[in-house]
Copies of this chain bind each other. A is one copy, B any other.
Amino acid sequence: MSIETSNVNIQQKVMDLVASGDGSQLAEIVEALTSKQVIHLIGHLSQNEQNRLFTLLSPENAAEMLEEIPDMQAAHIIEDLRTKDAAAILDEMESDDQADLIMELKTKDAEAILQEMLPEEAASVRRLLAYDPDCAGGMMHTEYFAFLEDQSIRSVTEDLRKNSEKYASFKLKYIFVISRSGVLKGVLQMQDLLLAGMDRTLSDIIVRQISYVNHQVSFEDLLDFFDINDWFGVPVVDDQQKLVGVVLRSDIRDAKSERQSVEHLESQGIIGGEELRTMPVFLRAKRRLSWLSVNIFLNIIAASVIAINQDVLSSVIALAVFLPIISDMSGCSGNQAVAVSMRELSIGAVKPEEVFRVLGQELAVGMINGLVLGLLIGMAAFFWKGNLYLGLVVGGALTLNTMLAVCLGGTVPLILKGFKIDPALASGPILTTVTDMVGFFLTLSFASLALSYLGGL
């Protein structure tokens, strides 16, 4: 098997067809692309070409492409289209993708597009938008098979046949059976319809003991649900037991992977957990700056510890060489512990309330690594200047500060999570600010104690 195709060729071909306005050849090409190819292609077209492409494609093809790319990017493309075209594309998307995309739009644009969409599609989007995106209601699809319990097998079969095109896109093939008021009564598999007599009603043949989830159930509970149950999807009901949607196993897996990615980007200072280089330069710069400006402020606070002890530094200028090392190494040691805690939180190996357990586990590692690193930097200082006291000052400071950094790094994510603050975003800055301040303070204080042995270095 080889599905290697040149991205450059695809891009060139699409650009040519966009220029010549050949929609049907375009459709042929884009239908054969993998999602990676779609992402690559869209990112390499100019805003103008993107606009022409999505205007030339049928709403179905356009919808399929938009479902492949990150929501933020899809939103930019949608906002550039005429409202009518945008609405037609959204009408063709799956319900959960519709809601995710609409959420990324400016409210004004979203409202205009919803007005132009098919009334039933718009109503379904509005229902989904009302939910927290991290609960069952926010993650569910509204495309599912539901028939009334007193319907005959014949009428259901006819309906399935008549609407086969619409139903083809339904991902979950179970048939749900509801009462006239919409209450979930039971479930059927497609083949049950084939085996039953045409004149019987659904209520004769349904399985009544079925699992379902309430629309407010959290993402975490859904993860546990699919962990225990080996199903492809689960029906979602509201507080009156009315069927309102289905959540698919694949949605939950995708959401989990998406969360990992957001967490990683946030921990590196990308607020919101997403940036694509196709976004406008000023927007990208602004989003990154919102994090950097907090950090520079924290950095200045930490460095003020040096400013206050400037007299020590001016007597022992050699210390200035070691301050950035102590700051950076403590950050590294602490971030290792942060990463392990984030990982253990996410797989469930540790709970936020187990701070003291983690503290004990990190203290031991912090002591070992602190001693080793302190010894290394102390020896470097000693051999550089031939002064034992300089070695003791910087080695001692790094040893203690590493212990602190490792303990803080391990526990801060748990504490933040316990207070419902996003640990991915906040752990790093808190950690480095504290360890910088303490590291500078320890180094300069130890030096002031040993000042008579250090003068002139």
Q: Please give the residue numbers on chain A whose beta carbons come within 8 Å of chain B beta carbons, in ascending order.
A: 1-3, 7, 34-37, 39-40, 43, 70, 211-214, 217, 221, 223-225, 227-228, 253, 256-257, 260-261, 263-265, 267-270, 274-278, 281-282, 284-285, 288-289, 291-293, 295-296, 299-300, 302-304, 306-307, 310, 313-314, 317-325, 327-329, 331-333, 335-336, 338-340, 342-344, 346-351, 358, 361-362, 364-365, 368-369, 372-373, 376-377, 380, 384, 432, 436, 440
Contact = CB atoms under 8 A, between A and B. Distances in A.
Contacts of A302: 324
Nearest to A428: B332
- Per assembly, the copies of the chain total 2
Given A317-B313, A317-B314, A333-B288, A350 B277 contact: yes
A214 B3 CA distance: 13
A368 B296 contact: no
B317 A310 contact: yes
B269 A336 contact: yes
Contact of A323 (B212, B269, B270, B320): B320
Contact of A344 (B267, B277, B335): B277
A324 to B, nearest CB: 5
B335 A365 contact: no
A242 to B, nearest CB: 16
Question: What does DSSP make chain A's interface, helix, strand, loop or mixed?
Answer: helix
B281 A348 contact: no
Contact of A40 (B285, B351, B380): B351
Contacts of A223: 36
22 contacts: A1-B213, A2-B221, A7-B351, A35-B348, A36-B223, A40-B350, A276-B340, A277-B340, A277-B344, A277-B361, A285-B368, A289-B369, A292-B373, A293-B373, A296-B329, A300-B377, A310-B318, A317-B320, A319-B320, A327-B327, A327-B328, A328-B432
A358 B277 contact: yes
Contacts of A213: 1
B43 A336 contact: no
Closest 10 CB pairs of A and B: A36-B348, A268-B339, A285-B368, A320-B320, A281-B364, A264-B264, A277-B361, A314-B317, A299-B325, A306-B321
A296 B374 CA distance: 10
Given A289-B372, A293-B376, A348 B40 contact: yes
A384 B365 CA distance: 40
Contact of A227 (B35, B319, B331): B35
Given A212-B1, A225-B3, A269-B339, A321 B307 contact: yes
